[in-house]
Amino acid sequence: MNKNYNQLPKIKKTTLLIYLLIFVLAPIITYLTGTFIDNQLKLPEFPIFPINLILGSIIFFTGLYIGIKSTRLLYKLGYGLPWGEVQSISQSRKLVTQGLYEYTRNPMILGYSLLPCGMGIMFQSLTMSIIFPIIVIVINVGIVKFREEPNLVKRFGEEYQIYKRNTPFLIPNFLKIFKVISKKEKPRLRTSRTLWISLSGLAILWVMLLKQNYDKSPIIERKLIFILFILICLVGTFAAVAPSILRGKIDGNKKDYDLTGHHPTCKNFITHTIKINGKKYCAGCLGLAVGGIISTIVSLFILITSLNIGNGWFYSVIGTFLIILGLFQHRIDVDNAFFHVVLNIGFVLGTLLLLLGLDNLSGNVLIETLFIAMTIFWIQTRIISSNEDHEKICLSCDLKCTESFI
């Protein structure tokens, strides 16, 4: 066997850039084309508000999760990339049958065909929600049937034939999925669920912003929203600088594994702590505290001066991007304490920027109240995600110096 057989494939920057651009251009083209066809054919808006937001965000982020997860599995387990049929060097070197591939042979097609469907429902477009998904499925099924599957038979032979007989082409066996999910580890399920709801909340805020026209609320009501946001920042900052006492107890025979904030000082948590002037701090809490202080100061300044902050679209886009990065930081394969400090600062500042954008573009208290509720939920999601990461580290550790560092 080639010694490089199990090495992850190298990703060229230009190829990756083209692949990532698809995720930017595809939604734009889908929206513009779908809206144009709807207007030309005078198709009705369906479904009605707010069902379109709830149902559409569920379908969209379910598809996004399936697409990203299946791509990651192909890369990590199969040592291949999605564009393997175009670039032979990127073809998978192992047949992936675990995870999502256990339920459907083509989870990527399933996931990415749900994206235009979810978008269409959110924007009440029949073209986007029905015609575009059919086009995506037809094109991809043709590629798989006439090119990909024959190549898989050549590369994996009987192994693929058995997998093909036992696994559906596209639509998974939902009864089997339900049985497996019911047995999954609870922390992981809880984290995935909260991340999914967090993204859905972001999507709903954006669709409300893009689709609906609102009258600006009285300035006093909008200032109350900022006061609530400041209170959230202050409480969050206090919680970050004074983390709660751990539930677990340290083994008396392992005195070297004491605590730094709410982390043990063992080497497994080295990427979770950062040293400043000889003293260790929790990287996540430090970032949240710094972000909370900056956001509080900026919010107070805006309250004292004026709520008119200029380019709302710019603030909204940057804020949304920073929030998503902060929420998913523990699922990004970069183990660096400074990296986590920066992402947590950005996470808090992202919520401030999104609030500034929403206030500038809509100025409606209903939307901003939903934002406040989602901010609290995003913080909780961030905590749950961090706890899961700590749990995974301790469960995989042989020292067993504590029951749980959470």
CB-count exposure of residue 116 (10 Å: 0-12, 13-18, 19+): buried
Q: What pLDDT was estimated at residue 253?
A: 39
Q: What is the pLDDT of residues 230-283, one digit of tens each?
A: 999 998 888 877 654 333 333 333 333 344 445 555 666 677 777 777 777 778
Report pLDDT for 27: 86
Q: 281 forms bridges with which residues in the sheet?
A: 274
- Is 177 in the same domain as 197? no
For 131, the domain range is: 13-182
**What's the DSSP call for residue 94?**
S
What's the CA gap between 188 and 181, in Å, rounded?
11
What integer pLDDT is reported at residue 175 of this predicted model? Answer: 65
CB-side neighbour CA atoms (13 Å) of 131: 12
Predicted pLDDT at 107: 93
pLDDT, residue 114, reads: 93
Decide: 292 and 301 in contact? Cβ < 8 Å: no
Q: Compute how many other C-beta atoms are within 10 angstroms of the C-beta atom of residue 225.
A: 20
Which residue, of 113, 148, 182, is where some domain finishes? 182
Q: Is the dihedral of CA 266, 272, 273, 274 positive or negative?
A: positive
Question: Do 236 and 318 reside in the same domain of the chain?
Answer: yes
Q: Which of 132, 160, 182 is the last residue of a domain?
A: 182
Based on the domain organization, do 175 and 204 belong to the same domain?
no
- Same-domain pairing of 97 and 156: yes
Are residues 214 and 346 both part of a single domain? yes
Contact, 358 vs 323, CB < 8 A? no
Q: Which of 277, 144, 319 is nearest to 286 (CA)?
A: 277
Q: What is the mean pLDDT of the chain?
A: 80
Query: What residue type is 143 in one-letter code?
Result: I
Does some domain include residue 5? no
- Give the model confidence (pLDDT) of 230-242 as tens digits: 999 998 888 877 6
Mean pLDDT to the nearest integer, 78-92:
74
- pLDDT of 180: 62
Q: Is residue 405 part of a domain?
A: no
Given this model, what pLDDT does residue 267 score? 66
Q: Percentage of residues in the chain with pLDDT exceeding 70?
A: 78
- How many separate domains does the chain show? 2
Task: Tell me whether residue 3 is in a domain.
Answer: no
Residues 144 and 292 in one domain: no
Residues 33 and 174 in one domain: yes
Q: Is residue 402 part of a domain?
A: no
Angle subtended by helix axes 337-361 and 283-304, to nearest 10: 30
Contact 247, 387 (CB under 8 A): no
Q: Please report whether residue 4 resides in a domain.
A: no
Same domain, 136 and 229: no
What is the pLDDT averaged over residues 172-188? 60
The average pLDDT across 1-26 equals 68
Specify whether 201 is located in the same domain as 81.
no
Share of the chain above pLDDT 90, in %: 27
Q: Is residue 41 one of the residues assigned to a domain?
A: yes
Tell me, yes or no, whether 137 and 244 share the same domain. no
- 90-94, 167-171, 335-339: segment of lowest average pLDDT: 335-339
Domain boundary among 150, 182, 214: 182
Same domain, 52 and 19: yes
364 contact partners, CB below 8 Å, separation of at least 6: 214, 215, 216, 217
User: What phi and psi values does residue 405 have, to the nearest 5 degrees?
Assistant: -100, 80
Q: Which tens digits make up the pLDDT trace of 199-215?
A: 888 988 888 888 767 77
Q: Are residues 199 and 168 part of one domain?
A: no
H or E element that contains 357: helix 337-361
Compute the average pLDDT of residues 353-357.
93
